[in-house]
Homo-oligomer: A and B are copies of this chain.
Amino acid sequence: MAGNSFGTIFRYTSWGESHGPAIGCVVDGVPPLISLSEPDIQQYLDKRRPGQNRFTTQRQESDTVKILSGVFEGKTTGTSIGLLIENEDQRSRDYEAIKDSFRPGHADYTYWAKYGIRDYRGGGRSSARETAMRVAAGAIGRKILGDGIRIRGALVQMGPHKIDRAKWDWDATPDNPFWCPDRQMAQQWEGFLDGVRKSGDSVGAVIEVVAEGVPPGWGDPIYGKLDADLASAMMGINAVKAVEIGAGLTAAALTGSENADEMRMKDGKIEFLSNNAGGILGGISTGQDIVVRFAVKPTSSILLPKKSVDTHGKEIEVQTKGRHDPCVGIRAVPVGEAMMAAVLADHMLRHRAQCG
């Protein structure tokens, strides 16, 4: 209700600030008897972990997750799962200088306007550090969904540079620091992002997340639609400014006759001849791949000076000298996957509740 919970039946609630002692979450509604151990979660946290290459922030966090409850002898018990990650590399002093400043593009001003107080150290609660808990909860979501459903994400645009979709190769994504499915573009991005980084600037990105194996029938019309919940999930990730399902924005320019995904029978099953719908019609899954894209704005923390004001109403210039990602979109890939997993796990249980 007050904003720190996500989901309805499969539901997690997170807490923790960028520079507090720890971050964590409680994951509720997990079916019993699912095998779950820390490595099941850790593998996804490791994908999101900072400091792995020169293209992400140099903050050193092992992000080691501990399961504190809800699992007994290697299996979920159906009770709430407490997860905890200790913060290790808090350089709070880095932030003393900007204590009273409102950094442009950040939530500094809005938190202050809303609450009349803010933890300025690294963005406090508004820090993207919170996304570690999304990834952890999403890992549990994947266990609920089981092996029949595969969720993968990729960076499909960095700054103005889009991948060539004809060259899409899922196997390429772990081979480059960008989760780029187009090997050629990945190389190009390397030079491009080095340039951005050295100029003290940052750049935006577009991420695509695809879920295969989702059966038809998941999603609760009219206000719990699968696409509406995915839109909320993705738009809620730090720095996201747009969400598309299937053809997305381009659907506006199509005619009905171009846009319609025609159907035929194949081996006794319905087969769609295209997927402009992105696997969702009327808010309910069609059985096709669920396809979601979201745009991440450029990192707001940049070395270049920008005009701002402070808490005292004084006009200032802000330059961010801390450790930051030149393209936060990269680390948003595992976060987007996790949110897809969280939404689908919830809808799997919601569908089972009503329809058996």
Contact bitstring A141-182, B, C-beta under 8 A = 1, else 0: 000000000000000010110000000000000000000000
Contact bitstring A258-287, B, C-beta under 8 A = 1, else 0: 111111110010100100111011111111
- Say if the beta carbon of A124 comes within 8 Å of chain B: yes
CA distance A232 to B329 in the complex (A): 21
Among A42-50, A56-64, A304-312, the stretch in contact with B: A304-312
Q: Which residues of B contact A31 (CB under 8 A)?
A: 354-356
Known: A79-B17, A107-B284, A115-B77. A265 touches B309 (CB 8 A): yes
Q: How many copies of this chain does one complex carry?
A: 4
In this complex, the member of A13, A283, A295, A308 whose beta carbon has the largest number of chain B beta carbons within 10 angstroms is: A13
Contacting pair A2 B224 (CB below 8 A): yes
State which of B119, B238, B278 has its C-beta within 8 Å of the C-beta of A77.
Answer: B119
Which residues from 103 to 142 on chain A have a C-beta closer than 8 Å to any C-beta of chain B?
A: 104-107, 109-111, 113-119, 124-126, 130
Contacting pair B263 A109 (CB below 8 A): yes
Known: A16-B69, A82-B24, A284-B107. A350 touches B351 (CB 8 A): no
Kindly provide the distance from the CB of A295 to the nearest chain B CB, expressed in whole angstroms.
4
Q: Which residues of B contact A282 (CB under 8 A)?
A: 106-107, 110-111, 126, 238
A32-B115, A249-B295 known, 12 other contacts, Cβ within 8 Å:
A1-B224, A3-B28, A31-B355, A31-B356, A110-B283, A241-B244, A241-B247, A256-B304, A257-B304, A259-B297, A259-B298, A260-B300
